[in-house]
């Protein structure tokens, strides 16, 4: 089992820095048949990232946006999804203790709970892995 966050999924479905690394990791995971896990917030976070790329950064057009949304739907349909309320208590403790966003702490709480390494490209979060006590999926 691998926990995957929005930063990794965005890099899989559009081209950004480190997208090739993300795509190779994603292919390796899926070819092995490893289950991918994520809290249900991942859909909204990825959609917000796509909106940002389309509206603010302006590096993806409407066609690429639609293709990315379709790819997200396909990935989301194959994720093991955890509901936020199930993770909220642990996530809040993690967020407060380690001064990370509640959003990020949801992924960490799921990773810890399921003993599933986290695939993330969030550098500040990655830097806190040892301090918080969760494993990163090798990139």
Q: For the segment 67-125, what is each residue's pLDDT rounded down to a tens digit?
A: 999 999 999 999 999 999 999 999 999 999 999 999 999 999 999 999 999 999 999 99
Question: Which residue range is the domain that position 91 belongs to?
Answer: 2-132
Sorting pLDDT into bands at 50, 70 and 90, what band is 134? very high
Helix axes 41-51, 102-114, angle to 10 degrees: 140
How many C-beta atoms surround the C-beta of residue 135 within 10 A? 15
**CB contact at 8 A, 7 and 107:** no
Asked if the structure places residue 115 within a domain, the reply is: yes
Overall number of domains in the chain: 1
Return the CATH number at 59. Answer: 3.40.50.1010
Other Cβ atoms closer than 10 A to 121: 21
């Amino acid at each position: 089992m691998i926990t995957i966050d929005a930063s990794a999924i965005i890099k899989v479905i559009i081209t950004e820095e480190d997208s090739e690394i993300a795509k190779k990791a994603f292919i390796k995971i899926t070819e092995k048949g490893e289950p991918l896990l994520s809290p249900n917030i991942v859909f909204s976070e990825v959609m917000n990232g796509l909106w940002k790329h389309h509206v603010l950064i302006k590096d993806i057009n409407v066609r690429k946006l639609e293709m990315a949304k379709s790819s997200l739907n396909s990935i989301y349909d194959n994720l093991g999804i955890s509901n936020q309320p199930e993770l909220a208590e642990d996530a809040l403790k993690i967020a407060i203790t380690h001064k990370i966003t509640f959003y990020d702490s949801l992924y960490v709480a799921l990773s810890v709970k399921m003993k599933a390494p986290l695939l993330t490209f969030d550098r500040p979060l990655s830097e806190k892995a040892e301090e918080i006590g969760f494993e990163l999926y090798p990139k």
